[in-house]
Structure 1
Amino acid sequence: MNKNFLFAFLFIQNFFLAQTSERILSAEKWQFKNSKEQKWLTASVPGTVHLDLMNNKLIPDPFTDENEKKVQWVENEDWDYQTIFKISSKELENQNIDLIFEGLDTFSEIYLNGKLLKKTDNMFRKWEIPVKEYLKLGDNLLQIKFKSSVNTGKELAKKVPFTMPESPRSFVRKAQYQFGWDWGPRLVTAGIWKDVKLNFWNNATIENIKTEQKSLTKQKADLHFQVTVLVDKEGKYDILIDHKTSQFQLKKGKNSVDIPFTINNPKLWQPNGWGTPNLYTIKVSLQKDSKTLSQQELRIGLRTVELIQEKDAKGKSFYFKVNGKPLYIKGTNWIPTDSFSPRIAKEKYQQLIGDSKEANMNMIRVWGGGIYEDDEFYKACDENGILVWQDFMFAGSFYPSDEDFLNNVKEEVKDQVNRLQNHPSIALWCGNNEVDEAIVNWGYQKQFKYSKEDSLQVWKDYKKVFHEVIPNTLKEHLTSDKNVYWPSSPSIGWGHKESLTEGDSHYWGVWWGEQPFEMYNDKVGRFMSEYGFQGMPSLETTKSMFSGNPDLNLQNPTIKAHEKHGRGWEIINKYMERDYHVPNDFIKYNYVSQLLQARGMQIAIEAHRRAKPYNMGTLYWQLNDCWPVVSWSSIDYLGNWKALHYQLKRSFENQVILAEEKNGILSFYAVNDGLKNFEDVQLELEVNMFDGKNLCTNIFIPKGKTLDGILKFETIAIKELVSDSDKNEVFLNLRVRDKNKKLIAQNNYFFSKPKDLKLTKPNITIKKISSTEIEISTDVLAKDVYLMGDTHFSDNFFDLLPKSSKQIQLSKPLEKVEVMSLWDTFQTK
Structure 2
Amino acid sequence: MKKSILFTFLFIQILANAQFYERNLSSEKWSFKNAKENKWLTASVPGTVHIDLMKNNIIPDPFKDENEKKVQWIENEDWDYQTTFSISQKELNNKNIDLVFLGLDTFSEIYLNGKFIQTTDNMFRKWTIPVKDFLQAGENNLQVRFKSSVNVGKELAEKVPFTMPESPRSFVRKAQYHFGWDWGPRLVTAGIWKDVKLNFWNNAKFQNIAIEQENLNSKKAELKIYTEIVADESGKYSISINGKSQNISLKSGLNLISIPYQINNPKLWQPNGWGNPNLYDLKITLQKNKRNIDEKSEKIGLRTVELIQKKDEQGKSFYFKVNGKPMYAKGTNWIPGDSFSPRMTKEKYQNLIKDCKEANMNMIRVWGGGIYEDNEFYKACDENGILVWQDFMFAGSFYPADEKFQKNVELEVKDQIERIQNHPSLALWCGNNEIDEAIVNWGYQKQFKYSKEDSLQVWKDYKTIFHEIIPKAIKKYATTDKQIYWESSPSIGWGHKESLTEGDSHYWGVWWGEQPFEIYNEKVPRFASEYGFQGMPTLEATKSMFSGNPELDLQNGIIKAHEKHSRGWEIIENYMKRDCIVPKDFVKYNYVSQLLQARGMQIAIEAHRRAKPYNMGTLYWQLNDCWPVVSWSSIDYLGSWKALYYKVKRSFENQVIFTEEKDDVLAFYAINDNSEKFQDLSLDIDIIKFNGEKHGSAGTADSETLEPNSILKFPFSLEEIIGDAEKNEIFLHVTLKDKKDEKIIAETNYFFAKPKDLKLPKPNIQIKKISSTEIEISTDVLAKDVYLIGNTHFSDNFFNLLPGASRRIKLSKPLEKIEVISLWDTMN
In the superposition, the TM-score normalised over structure 1's length comes to: 0.98
Task: Give 2:69's aligned residue.
Answer: 69
C-alpha displacement of 1:664:
2.5
Task: Give 2:771's aligned residue.
Answer: 770
Task: Give 1:618's aligned residue.
Answer: 618
Superposition pairs for residues 152-163 of structure 1, below 5 Å?
Answer: 152-163=152-163
d(CA) in 2 for partners of 1:453, 1:11: 64
d(CA) in 1 for partners of 2:581, 2:256: 67
d(CA) in 2 for partners of 1:538, 1:344: 20
Task: Give 1:413's aligned residue.
Answer: 413
2:706–2:712 contact (8 Å) kept in structure 1: no
1:548-573 deviation digits (Å, cap 9, x = unpaired): 11110000000000000000000000
Task: Give 1:558's aligned residue.
Answer: 558
C-alpha displacement of 1:724:
1.9
**Gap runs ≥5 in structure 2:** none
SS of equivalent to 1:422:
coil
C-alpha displacement of 1:709:
3.3
1:782-825 deviation digits (Å, cap 9, x = unpaired): 00000011110000000000000000000011111110000000
Question: Does 2:271 align with 1:268?
Answer: no
Superposition pairs for residues 246-261 of structure 1, below 5 Å?
Answer: 246-261=246-261
C-alpha displacement of 1:701:
2.3
Task: Give 2:689's aligned residue.
Answer: 689
Question: Does 2:378 align with 1:355?
Answer: no
Distance 1:570 1:422, change over 3 A: same
2:335–2:367 contact (8 Å) kept in structure 1: yes
1:717-761 deviation digits (Å, cap 9, x = unpaired): 222222222111110011112353321100000010011111010
Task: Give 2:143's aligned residue.
Answer: 143
d(CA) in 1 for partners of 2:575, 2:174: 36
C-alpha displacement of 1:716:
1.7
Task: Give 2:753's aligned residue.
Answer: 752
1:675-714 deviation digits (Å, cap 9, x = unpaired): 1121232211111111111122221128853333343334
Question: Does 2:592 align with 1:587?
Answer: no
1:83–1:143 contact (8 Å) kept in structure 2: yes
d(CA) in 2 for partners of 1:11, 1:23: 11
Number of equivalenced pairs: 822
AA at the equivalent of 1:620: Y
SS of equivalent to 1:650:
helix
2:680–2:703 contact (8 Å) kept in structure 1: no
d(CA) in 1 for partners of 2:69, 2:787: 35
- More divergent stretch after superposition (718-727 vs 478-487): 718-727
AA at the equivalent of 1:754: P
2:33–2:81 contact (8 Å) kept in structure 1: yes
C-alpha displacement of 1:55:
0.6
- More divergent stretch after superposition (689-698 vs 560-569): 689-698
1:57-91 deviation digits (Å, cap 9, x = unpaired): 11111001100000000000000000011100110
AA at the equivalent of 1:823: W
d(CA) in 1 for partners of 2:583, 2:49: 42
1:243-288 deviation digits (Å, cap 9, x = unpaired): 1111111000010111000000000000000000000011000000
Superposition pairs for residues 471-550 of structure 1, below 5 Å?
Answer: 471-550=471-550
Superposition pairs for residues 142-291 of structure 1, below 5 Å?
Answer: 142-291=142-291
SS of equivalent to 1:725:
coil
Task: Give 2:780's aligned residue.
Answer: 779
Distance 1:717 1:204, change over 3 A: same
C-alpha displacement of 1:777:
0.4
Task: Give 1:120's aligned residue.
Answer: 120
d(CA) in 1 for partners of 2:449, 2:748: 54
d(CA) in 2 for partners of 1:705, 1:377: 39
SS of equivalent to 2:728:
coil
2:94–2:200 contact (8 Å) kept in structure 1: yes
d(CA) in 2 for partners of 1:679, 1:487: 43
2:15–2:90 contact (8 Å) kept in structure 1: no
Distance 1:387 1:11, change over 3 A: closer
d(CA) in 1 for partners of 2:704, 2:13: 68
- More divergent stretch after superposition (679-688 vs 754-763): 679-688
d(CA) in 1 for partners of 2:272, 2:758: 37
1:16–1:293 contact (8 Å) kept in structure 2: no
C-alpha displacement of 1:13:
5.0
Task: Give 1:826's aligned residue.
Answer: 827
Task: Give 2:708's aligned residue.
Answer: 708
2:669–2:714 contact (8 Å) kept in structure 1: no
d(CA) in 2 for partners of 1:152, 1:779: 66
Distance 1:556 1:11, change over 3 A: closer
1:33–1:39 contact (8 Å) kept in structure 2: yes
Task: Give 1:104's aligned residue.
Answer: 104
Question: Does 2:316 align with 1:316?
Answer: yes
Fraction of identical pairs, as percent: 72
AA at the equivalent of 1:511: W
Task: Give 2:806's aligned residue.
Answer: 805
2:15–2:91 contact (8 Å) kept in structure 1: no
2:669–2:713 contact (8 Å) kept in structure 1: yes
1:300-334 deviation digits (Å, cap 9, x = unpaired): 00000000000000000000000000000000000
1:502–1:526 contact (8 Å) kept in structure 2: yes
Task: Give 2:744's aligned residue.
Answer: 743
C-alpha displacement of 1:455:
0.4
1:667–1:712 contact (8 Å) kept in structure 2: no
Q: CA RMSD in A?
A: 1.3
d(CA) in 1 for partners of 2:145, 2:11: 40
SS of equivalent to 2:377:
helix
Question: Does 2:3 align with 1:41?
Answer: no
Distance 1:725 1:223, change over 3 A: same
Distance 1:692 1:101, change over 3 A: same
d(CA) in 2 for partners of 1:629, 1:388: 25
Superposition pairs for residues 587-736 of structure 1, below 5 Å?
Answer: 587-701=587-701, 705-736=705-736
SS of equivalent to 2:727:
coil
d(CA) in 1 for partners of 2:16, 2:652: 51
- More divergent stretch after superposition (581-590 vs 683-692): 683-692
SS of equivalent to 1:57:
coil
Superposition pairs for residues 376-395 of structure 1, below 5 Å?
Answer: 376-395=376-395
Superposition pairs for residues 404-443 of structure 1, below 5 Å?
Answer: 404-443=404-443
2:697–2:721 contact (8 Å) kept in structure 1: no
AA at the equivalent of 1:706: L
Superposition pairs for residues 18-97 of structure 1, below 5 Å?
Answer: 18-97=18-97
d(CA) in 1 for partners of 2:45, 2:460: 40
1:670–1:707 contact (8 Å) kept in structure 2: no
C-alpha displacement of 1:15:
5.8
d(CA) in 2 for partners of 1:137, 1:319: 59
Distance 1:418 1:17, change over 3 A: farther
AA at the equivalent of 2:795: S
Task: Give 2:795's aligned residue.
Answer: 794
SS of equivalent to 2:18:
helix
AA at the equivalent of 1:684: D
d(CA) in 1 for partners of 2:473, 2:268: 29
d(CA) in 2 for partners of 1:11, 1:564: 52
SS of equivalent to 1:456:
helix
**Gap runs ≥5 in structure 1:** none
Question: Does 2:328 align with 1:328?
Answer: yes
